[in-house]
Amino acid sequence: MEKNRIPRKNAASMDELISEYIREMKIAAGLNTQLVFNAWDEVSGASIHTIGRFYRNGTLYITLNSSVVRNRLSFQKEALIRSMNNRLASDSLFVKDDPNVGLINELVLK
């Protein structure tokens, strides 16, 4: 016996559905911010020294508990920004065209 099948005229991939859901629920800014923080942890290797994070208008503010680590990372700012943006751009959950939270333009270490 043959089963009744639903026609797949408007089939969409899971990535498309998730992106649409994120837009509809208006959670892109919060999700993007968390993805930026995760990118910092993965790229910098300084997550254990990070005591504060703040992201606004393309600027990532990081507070570190070690002046030695801060000094070492300050020489690598451009490479860190580039690596974090590459990681974010390759993440399927990151909403690239969100007007509130997009890619990182500047990194401020405190």
* Reported confidence tier of residue 102, pLDDT bands at 50, 70, 90: confident
pLDDT in the model for residue 8? 66
pLDDT in the model for residue 18? 83
Residue 23 DSSP SS3: helix
- Residue 100 confidence (pLDDT) above 80: no
Alpha carbon distance, N-terminus to C-terminus of the chain = 69
- Token readout for 87 is 């990681």
pLDDT in the model for residue 1? 52
Q: What is the mean pLDDT of residues 85-110?
A: 89
pLDDT in the model for residue 79? 97
pLDDT in the model for residue 3? 65
- Which neighbouring-strand residues pair with 59? 56, 106
pLDDT in the model for residue 34? 94
**CA 9 from centre of chain:** 33
Q: What's the one-letter identity of residue 50?
A: T
pLDDT digits (tens, 9 = 90+) for 20-78: 888 778 788 889 999 999 999 999 999 999 999 999 989 999 999 999 999 999 999 99
